[in-house]
A and B are shown apart, each in its own frame.
Chain A
Amino acid sequence: GAVVSQHPSWVICKSGTSVKIECRSLDFQATTMFWYRQFPKQSLMLMATSNEGSKATYEQGVEKDKFLINHASLTLSTLTVTSAHPEDSSFYICSAREREGETQYFGPGTRLLVL
């Protein structure tokens, strides 16, 4: 299957700082990338959908000014958690697909802990 990487795999930061998470498709060009978050023992919740070269589409209840998404190239999308607070602590996972209708392949996830 296709390979998607995320960096960093985990990060600890102080409250009020910003954190950037990278998602890369390693062996295919991802026209669309998705960002999810997962709280302990809960389901994966879609945060936003990003298409290369255009603005991300955010799900209801997700603050676009807090979770900045940039999909600048066909192999890279970034999620920046701005002014992070302890309640932003979570497991963030990205996925990518090459074309419409194709299966999404997931990255390994990034665990964020905000102190």
Chain B
Amino acid sequence: DQQVKQNSPSLSVQEGRISILNCDYTNSMFDYFLWYKKYPAEGPTFLISISSIKDKNEDGRFTVFLNKSAKHLSLHIVPSQPGDSAVYFCAASDEGSGTYKYIFGTGTRLKVLA
């Protein structure tokens, strides 16, 4: 049972344009969401997070939007740069349960074309 889904395995975007990566979840108890960036053979790097009490969080070129009613979150990168090319994972956590475990999606490979 995949509780966190990233339905697009890959995405190609032109340099300078906006990249939009999507993530859906099924567990309504999730209350904390994160995006990580990962290069091959490396560990994930934290990008940005959002609590369920918010619907938007912005950090530089990265913005995460949360739509709780749709159980959907998205990561916007603007402007996209070639160095953004990597695999992006969304993760969700039920902080209220006290376990603080992260459930990861399957990842979306972003390719930013110069």
Nearest-neighbor residue (CB-CB) of A6 within chain B: B43
Q: Is the CB of B102 within 8 A of A46?
A: yes
Q: Is the CB of B46 within 8 A of A105?
A: yes
Cross-interface CB contact of A49 among B41, B44, B101, cutoff 8 Å = B101
Q: How large is the interface on A (under 10, 10 to 19, 20 to 34, 35 or more residues)?
A: 20 to 34
Q: Is the CB of A100 within 8 A of B101?
A: no
* CA A45 to CA B89, docked complex, whole Å: 12
Q: Is the CB of B106 within 8 A of A91?
A: no
* CA A97 to CA B102, docked complex, whole Å: 12
Q: How far is the CB of A86 from chain B (nearest CB, A)?
A: 19
Q: Is the CB of A43 within 8 A of B49?
A: no
* CA A91 to CA B46, docked complex, whole Å: 18
Q: Is the CB of B34 within 8 A of A106?
A: no
The A49-85 residues at the B interface (CB cut-off 8 A) are 49
Q: A103 with B95: in contact, given A43-B89, A43-B106, A44-B104 (CB under 8 Å)? A: no
A7 CB-CB contact with B under 8 Å: no
Q: Is the CB of B106 within 8 A of A100?
A: no
Cross-interface CB contact of A1 among B42, B46, B95, cutoff 8 Å = B46
A32 CB-CB contact with B under 8 Å: yes
* CA A32 to CA B36, docked complex, whole Å: 19
Cross-interface CB contact of A103 among B41, B43, B49, B99, cutoff 8 Å = B49
Enumerate chain B residues within 8 angstroms of A49, measured Cβ to Cβ. Answer: 99, 101
Q: Is the CB of B43 within 8 A of A107?
A: yes
Cross-interface CB contact of A106 among B45, B95, B100, cutoff 8 Å = B45
Q: What are some 7 contacts across the A-B interface (CB < 8 A)?
A: A6-B43, A43-B105, A44-B89, A101-B95, A104-B46, A106-B45, A108-B43
Beyond A43-B104, A49-B101, list 15 extra A-B contacts (CB 8 Å).
Answer: A32-B100, A42-B106, A44-B89, A44-B104, A46-B103, A93-B43, A95-B102, A100-B98, A100-B100, A101-B95, A103-B34, A107-B43, A109-B42, A109-B43, A111-B41
Nearest 5 interchain pairs by C-beta: A106-B43, A44-B104, A43-B104, A43-B106, A108-B43
